[in-house]
Amino acid sequence: MFYDGPFWATIVAARIPKDHPRYASLVTREHMKDALSRGLIHDTGLIAHGRGEAFDYLLGEASPPWARRVARSAAAALLSAKQPVLSCNGNVVALAAKECVAAAKATGARLEVNLFHRTEDRVRRLVRELEKAGGKHVLGPNPDARIPNLSSDRAKCHKDGIFGADVVLVPLEDGDRCEALAKMGKTVIAIDLNPLSRTAVHASITIVDELRRALLLIGSEAQTLKETTASATRLQRLAASWKNQQGLTRARLFMARQLRARRA
């Protein structure tokens, strides 16, 4: 189990029976509620989480058959980058701090906290949370650059991080920033359960899968690529071989089939 510490007291208090068919989902909801009360996520983060849950239902709450293939391309893009960065918002840290740290270690990516509803207090809390999970030199406070053509606070970033990055992994992103990062010439890797979102469409590589599952796959694929000592050319070829629009069509058809199957 990925949650430890006093959070379990909340679960016990919430009296979620272990044999409930939606146990994992209910535990995660309690976890998100807890993250809200700890000032890690914004209220609207709960709504974004709900949208993700709905799409995960359509995916069958498991990684789709091609998930490992797209995760390999994503890992290859990060491993072959000069300055790879993993951008973290509140939901990402609340749901998957450990998985973020592990994926960052496996790929050599720097962690940077970047928020739409930005307060300096929340940035610091999230940095601390990532550090508690083992993250080192996490960026976020005192940004020294801005993403051009983006008016929200998500434009605030670091030269040593997102601003200077050639490859950025943006889990649970909003479409505006994804588009702005792509316009800067960066390779953008998205993790988004919604294959229709603007983020999914504008990213170079979109992993249509649940955040934690996708991060674990990226980490393990990066490890395998490193162990097989793939050359820089092979990594770049692997990264470029993922055809994103085809991947999104495949995800949409997969979800449509799930819907039809459930009706029958």
Residues in touch with ligand ATP (CB under 6 A) = 48-49, 51-52, 55, 95, 172, 174-175, 191-194, 197-199, 210-211
Number of residue whose CB is nearest ligand ATP? 52
Nearest distance from C-beta of residue 253 to ligand ATP, angstroms: 18
Closer by beta carbon to ligand ATP, 46 or else 240 = 46
Burial (CB count <10 Å: 0-12, 13-18, 19+), residue 175: middle
Closer by beta carbon to ligand ATP, 94 or else 139 = 94
Distances (CA, A) of 240 to 59, 138, 188, 233: 25, 28, 12, 11
Nearest distance from C-beta of residue 209 to ligand ATP, angstroms: 7
Q: Which three-class secondary structure state does DSSP give residue 100? A: helix
For residue 224, give every residue at least 6 positions away whose Cβ sits within 8 Å of its Cβ, in sequence order, or none: 72
Tokens of residue 165, six digits: 């990055």
Q: Which three-class secondary structure state does DSSP give residue 41? A: coil
Neighbour tally for 51: CB within 10 Å: 14
Tokens of residue 170, six digits: 């943006």
Nearest distance from C-beta of residue 201 to ligand ATP, angstroms: 8
Closer by beta carbon to ligand ATP, 48 or else 123 = 48
| Whole-angstrom distance, CA of residue 34 vs CA of residue 236 | 41
Closer by beta carbon to ligand ATP, 207 or else 230 = 207
Closer by beta carbon to ligand ATP, 127 or else 172 = 172
Nearest distance from C-beta of residue 215 to ligand ATP, angstroms: 9
Nearest distance from C-beta of residue 3 to ligand ATP, angstroms: 15
